[in-house]
Structure 1
Amino acid sequence: MTTIYATLGVQPDATLDEIKRAYRRATMKWHPDRNLGREAEAYAAFQEIREAYAILSDAEQRRVYDEVFAQEMQRWQAERDAQEAQEREAQRERERLAQEHYEKMVATAMRFADEGHNRDVLFGVLLGRDCDAELAARIADSVWALQEARRDNVATTDTPDSESTIPSDEATSPQRHSSAFETFWQGLFGLRQ
């Protein structure tokens, strides 16, 4: 917001002498006779300078201007703060809805995976439920990786140790399952350790 102080190029606490000097400089710069080819622009600026000087050179008008300006600035700041608060609340609501949608898509994918459907079916189901293609692919990959890890875990725990072709230290190794789990979390949340 431009003030009449800015129009003259002085600070709000400027003395009357500073205001007079700034007025003379500004009128010399923006006088229409000195701005050939830009007369309309110069005339408008010249009028603003004259009006600013008329207010700031009169102590009573300056006091009223300062009071009104301060009130308007407070009102403007309150409106701005309210608007920013509304925008923050709208952003939180968008994030909440996105999180809710995301959780719903993950639950849907988990349900279909538990029913034995493959990764491509999971992806198709998510697309059919208005899930963004990139998010659908990420969720489908992660849920499928989790299902594979579960199947591997069940397969290794169901096989007796004597019949197992995997050495016992590898069968119980958290390394094998942590990569599937890590893939799941990276896909769902984009987290990397």
Structure 2
Amino acid sequence: MSRQKVKAERGQQTPRRAEPANARGGLPLTVTRPELLSDGTDRDFRRLVHNIFAFMARHESIRDGHARQVGLAGIEYTILISIGHLGLDGDVNVKTIADHLHMSGAFVTTVTSKLQTLGLIEKKQDSADRRRISLAITEKGKALLRKLAPYQREINDVEFGPLSREEFQSISRILEALIDSSDKAFALQRYKSSIKEPSKVA
């Protein structure tokens, strides 16, 4: 085949699209939505994800520090204070807490049993549905949270100090939306992981 013919055939081939900069460097994109890309790369997205990891690690350490002040594990403190605050709006049960904290009911049941043993919460019949068990914080539990509050306020005010009122409301809405979309992403991940690859025909 002549060089001229080869060049002609090559010229008829569909030109390849330019690869994003990070793909050309050997790393594939981890997102494809234009809203999450910057100059064709996912660098800003990766920075956001890694900053979320960094913040959550620090926030969990602070939460555990709050809990240690009153002799509790971090998750015990979280569930205790959630029962107290949600109880201001009416009866609270295991499902109420599980939905609020995005945890399994079985896990919440285990932790609330520990809190009951410590005398920090009590279980009684729900006023609306007598078949359901309602959770309520005891006076001992309230006293524990009152003891913690001055220390807790000082730390929390510093941790969330950079936020304006508008930013605080905005980030609250964004986090709720991201929790919902993350649940959907996790369900998709589990589904795709469960699909077996078709066996190859020899």
More helix by share: 1
TM range (shorter): under 0.3
Which has the higher Rg, Structure 1 or Structure 2? Answer: 1
Point out the structure with the larger strand share: 2
> Relative contact order: is structure 1 or structure 2 higher (C-alpha 8 Å, sep ≥ 6)?
1
The TM-score normalised by the length of structure 2 is 0.26
| TM-score, normalised with respect to structure 1 | 0.26
